[in-house]
Structure 1
Amino acid sequence: MYFHGRGVPQSDEEAVKWYRKAAEQGDAGGQSGLGFMYDKGRGVPQSDEEAAKWHRRAAEQGNARGQNNLGAWYKDAQGVSQSDEEALKWFRKAAEQGNAGGQNYLGFMYQNARGVPQSDEEAMKFYRKAAEQGDALGQNNLGVMYEKGRGVPQSDEEAVKWYRKAAEQGNARGQSNLGIMYAMGRGVPQSYEEAVKWYRKAAEQGNEMAQNNLGNMYAMGRGVPQSVVEAVKWYRKAAEQGDAVAQKNLGVMYEKGRGVTQSDEEALKWFKKAADQGNVDAE
């Protein structure tokens, strides 16, 4: 059991019961909530098909969350046949109601030419709408566009501003990106200690890029006491999530016997994993 904000003991099963009652009476919020529970397998067996069914019912009533979720289902072929056109349709409906998730997804579709002609300017427009609502993912995405100069004039200072907003809300991508800016001294005074701080926050949330970068900081003794054992620990966490750079780095540690017992077999294993993903150094 847990308490759900208002002092009422709740359980997933109880939540499903009440979502279902509302949903079956045609309440769009209940339908969206029930779709979420099926998506996550909370209080019911996980079912993409049931999740898609209830998100559709909510979406067709104009529920913005249901529209955003149904769009995501079409984008990723989850519970429905993949269709960028259908995904775009539902993301646009959600975005037009001010739903930050729909705005972010719509930005993604424009950035990656999914169902629409590629347009960094349109992507920026929708990322900004989400970011200015305080949405952390939108803030990180907007930071990326400023860092890369896509759809806007390149600006490290603007990138840092938006990364920081995302990072301070706990967004792991924003934390990782802010760490990179501190490590490189881009848009902020260079500081390995600040880089380590933000890498660690992201790494502890499971962000593989930050885990690899934190491993690098330990390997080189930047912003932390040098420790090959800690470096290996963080490389391994990222490598096991499939990060090719970390797989290559972990292979190097096994090849040289740094922080682990030397093993050509383990080195080869990790180099091959990285090479299979196209990592040139590993190849």
Structure 2
Amino acid sequence: MLKASTTTITARTLPALALVFACVTATGSFAGQRENIWIPHEGDPIVVSHGSPRATGQLGFRYENGFGVPQNYTAAAGLYWQAAEQGDPFAQAHLGLSYDRGHGVQKDLILAYKWLDLATARASRRDRAFYQRLRDGVAEKMSLPQVAEGQRQALIWAANWAGR
């Protein structure tokens, strides 16, 4: 156990601190700048307005699964959304799964399909088949008009994102 001023850092908190440091340093900024990242206290919102979308999505994964931080589905979904809006396929897929399961967001199969469809389209060759299976699994729970609506929403998002 390390002792830094009055804050105790344990082996359990080190992975979370390392991830936060990675999020902040990806922007070339220092962690003391509040607009880059803010480490919340219990009950506080998590805000990541700048930085690596991949690191933001990974932080969401840590919150979803309670790795080094308290498990919090709502915080995870918020982080996934922030990174998904920046085009990260990992975050898009996990946001889709959050909508499919109702973890941290209201269950919505159309939004689940939309985000999984976007993740499939943007994924690396290695991840594409996996995301496609997840998307198709959600589609099996949906009617054809619902799938069409999910596809329509994904196309609209992709067209708007390409125009940024």
Question: Fold-level match, TM-score > 0.5?
Answer: yes
CA distance in 2, matches of 1:152, 1:114: 24
SS of the residue corresponding to residue 117 of structure 1 reads coil
Task: Pick one of 3, 13, 20 that aligns with 1:56.
Answer: 20
Following TM superposition, by how much is the alpha carbon of 1:51 offset from its aligned partner in structure 2, in angstroms?
2.4
Q: 1:49 to 1:143 in 2, by over 3 A?
A: same
Bigger relative contact order (CA 8 A; separation at least 6): 2
Residue matched to 2:114: 125
CA distance in 2, matches of 1:96, 1:151: 26
Residue matched to 2:80: 91
Residue matched to 1:145: 138
TM-score (ref. length: structure 1): 0.35
Residue matched to 1:113: 102
Residue matched to 1:220: none
Residue ranges of structure 2 left out of the alignment (5+ in a row): 1-10, 25-36, 38-49, 148-164
TM-score (ref. length: structure 2): 0.59
Residues 145 and 152, structure 1, Cα contact 8 Å, conserved in 2: no
Q: 1:113 to 1:79 in 2, by over 3 A?
A: same
Give the letter aligned to residue 114 of structure 1: H
Aligned ranges 1:221-232 → 2 under 5 Å: none
Larger radius of gyration: 1
Over the residues paired in the alignment, what is the CA RMSD in angstroms? 2.3
Residues 103 and 130, structure 1, Cα contact 8 Å, conserved in 2: yes
Q: 1:131 to 1:100 in 2, by over 3 A?
A: same
SS of the residue corresponding to residue 91 of structure 1 reads helix
After the TM superposition, which parts of structure 1 deviate over 4 Å for at least 4 consecutive aligned residues? Answer: 151-155
User: How many residues align structurally?
Assistant: 108
Residues 116 and 132, structure 2, Cα contact 8 Å, conserved in 1: yes
Aligned sequence identity (%)? 26
Q: 1:154 to 1:119 in 2, by over 3 A?
A: closer
Residue ranges of structure 1 left out of the alignment (5+ in a row): 1-46, 156-283
Residue matched to 1:82: 71
Q: 1:119 to 1:154 in 2, by over 3 A?
A: closer
